[in-house]
Amino acid sequence: MFPLGGIPWFNCVFGRDSIVTAMQTAAFIPSIAESVIKRLAELIGRSRDEEREEEPGKIIHERREGEVSGSVLPFRRYYGTIDATPLYLMLVARYAKQSGVDSIKPFKDGIELALRWLLDKLNKDELGLLGYSGGVLSNQGWKDSWDSVFDSSGELLGYPRYLIEVQGYVFEALSRMDEVFPGQGLGSIANRVRDKIGLFWSSELGFFAEAIDGGGRLADVYTSNPGHLLWTHAINSVDARKAAEVLMGDRLFTGYGIKTLGFGEPRHDPTSYHNGSIWPHDNSIILKGLADYGLCEEFSAGSKAMLNAFKQLGLPGLPELYTGSAPRSPWGTSPSPGQAERRS
């Protein structure tokens, strides 16, 4: 019951993808969550290996099998991801709440190792946030294209880089784990991370920036990344309303969903992998957050957009991504046939 990354190129273990799938199916197929928790605990980093970017307690990014992948290191076992570990702890906490704390006892050693990795990273970072420096993958969040983190001039951010959605994951992970392992002060650490999310606010945008680097430079462009703060309940209701207005505004929203990067931004390309396309996975996370904050009108509009895309694409299911080039349309209206373009 372990969900692999995707057929045909990613038919292997992917930490982040498997975790998100497990969280989104836990209510009706809890065996997926159990399988993911178990397998990733088995593959958790146990030593330090610079080539694989492995560290004790770090959740794996990618595990490949077979002759070709096995001969090309480090992708046989590669740990270059900044968000898989806090996402793993989010999953563990949610599963423990649903199935009882005893359900995670068989995996306790791996879970505690992951928690120590996260706390150590926060403790040693100058900003007290979870960031990364470049490796085999120069970007190590879910938007891992080499050119997906940049400022309003189009210049790539420096290192270390701190992604806004990752800080939300950290907040949610530690807040939830505080209930699983009470008495360790995890909730207080979570609140300190949440309080620093204000560092990402851009007065020029009137919105949260995608990222900040070690020099304090903001990725001050309109992206979908801040929408994940809704999913992790990391902002107050006033900021949630502001975020929803931008996400559902004409910079980012089309009749087919919320774009990864806004119209008119540097590097914008609606057919790119991460710089202007639309990802159903990204939208599903944002939609859950909108619902959690009671933003029903925005949730309804976003849901209709996903259904519009499904109808127009004519596929058995939604693909990994599709183009963000559809003309912007008022909420609740369906674009004309053929305006949704599938990425081949």
Asked if the structure places residue 30 within a domain, the reply is no
Asked if the structure places residue 322 within a domain, the reply is yes
Structural contact between residues 255 and 333, judged by C-beta atoms closer than 8 angstroms: yes
Q: What is the pLDDT of residue 68?
A: 56
Which pTM was predicted?
Answer: 0.93
Q: Residue 47: inside a domain, yes or no?
A: no
pLDDT of residue 6: 81
What is the number of structural domains in the chain?
Answer: 1
Please report the pLDDT score of residue 95 as a whole number.
98
Give pLDDT < 50 ranges for the chain: 329-344
- Which residue in this structure is represented by tokens 């969903």? 257
pLDDT at 171: 98
Residue 338: inside a domain:
yes
Inter-residue contact 273 to 145 (CB < 8 Å) = yes
The residues, any chain, with a CB within 8 Å of residue 316's CB and separated by 6 or more, are none
Q: Identify the DSSP state of 294.
A: T
- A 10 A CB-CB count for 238 gives 8
Q: What is the pLDDT of residue 340?
A: 41
State residue 72's pLDDT score: 61
Instruction: Find out whether the peptide bond into 74 is cis, omega within 30 degrees of 0.
Output: yes
CB of 295 within 8 A of CB of 303?
no
Cα atoms found within 13 Å of the Cα of residue 284, Cβ hemisphere only? 13
Indicate whether 57 belongs to any domain. Answer: no
Range(s) of the domain holding residue 335: 237-344
HSE, CB side, 13 Å, CA atoms: give it for residue 102: 0
Tens-place pLDDT, residues 109-139? 999 999 999 999 999 999 999 999 989 999 9
CA angle 209, 214, 215 (to 5 degrees): 85
Position 183 in a domain: no
**Which pLDDT does position 329 carry in this prediction?**
47
Cα-flanking dihedrals φ and ψ of residue 18, to 5°?
Answer: -65, -40
Residue 276 is encoded by which pair of tokens? Answer: 């202007």
- Is 160 a member of any domain? no
DSSP state of 335: P
